[in-house]
Chains A and B, each alone.
Chain A
């Protein structure tokens, strides 16, 4: 049944039933305690949650969600393009270009986005540089995300068997042609799950719009709390909306990965990409 344990015997089965019952009681007790705590402070009263049954509130939050998706899309396009250039730079033949791209990537991966956003918000205006609101978030996010995209794409490119580029060369394709028609399409397909999970973490990072006062979901949520004065229901609803959107994208990424794993013709990138864990950890 599983590689870690045997088919259980009668005694183990009894122990498992006891274990299941104990875990069930423990989890139920935990949930009951939390619910009791909410109820004791009057947070479960229907009146507090009623606004979230009205279309007006959802239209208001919907505009925030649209802003979130829009910002994520801008960063994904810009960051993806920049990331591709960086990935190519990192495997280029010229040493200065390799060095430059590696340095950029190392810096961008180890500086917190918030520090850069504060720089855009409070630092640069002191020097007379003031960007529009969206860009105060988009520029720092693009700076950091492009490095992650670069690492994912590079992993995809370098994990293709060298026979692919050799075959392209022997067909008479130039370097650029080999990259465009042979290497990149395969590399992009192989790393598409990692790219998608990076997009999810990007979507989560757009909550920084809360700080720069860009109309994203979390910022709209905050504005809503100052109108409704209901902190708990509002932030719980916001959290659940984020959960729904990201979880469906994550599920899609898992499915893509399973499909790639199944197709024998594409079975080139099986090694887990080291970037993946970091990436989603943002």
Chain B
């Protein structure tokens, strides 16, 4: 147990990195996902096609393969960025495909009357998307978005494989020094569970606040 307290600082550092990646990639994926979802329902066939291809690509390719491609291979083609931003970009792009799919199913829950009313008020297509459809779609998918954010929190651990020292990598490193696997891995697992729980509670609260009862 002493080992845990001695290395508490370094574990907290790892946790900080995990939370940093989670927050930036989370916000990035929601913003990017909203754009992809809008493109996916737009009247322009080319945008619909591009958004479909984008979502299919990221849903069907393993995250680890993308991370390795982006971190180890792409620098050879001149796409050079430090490793943490690269990981954040890959995670945001990857999860945005799931966000877009969730939002698209959220759009389907917006009643026809809302859309017709927006049109009857003289809103343009862009205005009715921005002011009526997308906000309601977001409210309908708070819970699924929370689940995607939990998945993202677990997926940040893959950053350890490409050399980012976040929580999982820290647990692993500290354990190699102290050789107390049960203690360290349980602590690591509990921290991830706490993160997931926090996201779950937050989305539960948001859901109660934002949900539109139909």
The residue on A at minimum CB distance from B159 is A114
Determine the distance from Cα of A236 to Cα of B161 in the docked complex, in whole angstroms. Answer: 19
Among the stretches B2-10, B81-89, B150-158, the one at the interface with A is B150-158
Closest to A6 in B: B119
Main secondary structure of the interface of A (DSSP, over half): helix
Closest to B75 in A: A231
Q: Is the CB of A115 within 8 A of B147?
A: no
Residues of B near A127 (CB, < 8 A) are: 181-182
> Complex: how many Å from CA A107 to CA B193?
7
Q: How large is the interface on A (under 10, 10 to 19, 20 to 34, 35 or more residues)?
A: 35 or more
Q: Per-residue CB proximity of B82-110 to A under 8 Å, as 1/0?
A: 00000000000001001001100101000
Q: A115-B157, A118-B172 are in contact. Are A281 and B95 (CB under 8 A)?
A: yes
- Give the shortest distance, in Å, between B88 (CB) and chain A (any CB): 17
> Pick the contact of A20 from B46, B65, B125 — CB < 8 Å?
B46
One digit per residue, 1 when the CB lies within 8 angstroms of any chain B CB and 0 when it does not, for chain A 261-282 equals 0000000000010100110111
From A19, A38, A119, give the contact of B44 (CB < 8 A).
Answer: A19
Across-interface contacts of A41 in B (CB, < 8 A): 76-78
C-alpha gap A117/B119 in the complex (Å)? 54
Interface centre among A43, A113, A207 (most CB of B within 10 A): A207
Residues of A within 8 A of B95 (CB): 281
Selected from A114, A247, A272, the residue in CB contact (under 8 A) with B168 is A114
Partner of B185, one of A19, A115, A250: A115
- Residue-wise, chain B 46-76 has the 8 Å CB interface mask toward A (1 for contact) of 1100100000110111111110110011101
Q: Which of B41, B44, B79, B147 contacts A281 (CB 8 A)?
A: B147
Distance in Å: Cβ of B191 to nearest Cβ of chain A:
10
Interface membership of chain A positions 83-125, coded 1 if the CB is closer than 8 angstroms to chain B and 0 otherwise: 0000000000000000000000011011111111011001110
CB of A16 closer than 8 Å to a CB of B? yes
A2 nearest in chain B by CB position: B43
Interface of B is mostly: helix
Shortest distance between the CB of A50 and any CB in chain B (Å):
17
Contacts of A236 in B (CB 8 A): 69, 73
Q: A115, B115: Cβ atoms under 8 Å?
A: no
Total interface residues on B, using CB and 8 Å? 66
Please tell me if A40 contacts chain B, counting CB pairs below 8 Å: yes
Partner of B148, one of A110, A119, A278: A278
The reply to whether B147 and A277 contact each other, CB–CB distance below 8 Å, is yes
From the candidates A111, A114, A272, A280, name the one contacting B158 in the complex (CB within 8 A).
Answer: A114
Q: What are 18 contact pairs spanning A and B, CB under 8 A?
A: A19-B47, A20-B45, A20-B47, A41-B77, A111-B154, A114-B158, A115-B185, A118-B172, A122-B175, A123-B185, A126-B175, A127-B181, A221-B65, A235-B72, A235-B73, A243-B61, A246-B61, A278-B148
Interface on B for A, CB 8 Å cutoff?
Answer: 41, 43-47, 50, 56-57, 59-66, 68-69, 72-74, 76-79, 95, 98, 101-102, 105, 107, 112, 115, 119, 125, 133, 143-144, 147-148, 150-152, 154-155, 157-158, 160-161, 168, 171-172, 175-176, 179, 181-182, 184-185, 188-189, 192-193, 196-197
- Contacts A20-B45, A114-B157, A242-B60 known; list 7 others, CB within 8 Å: A41-B78, A43-B76, A110-B150, A115-B171, A218-B62, A278-B144, A278-B150
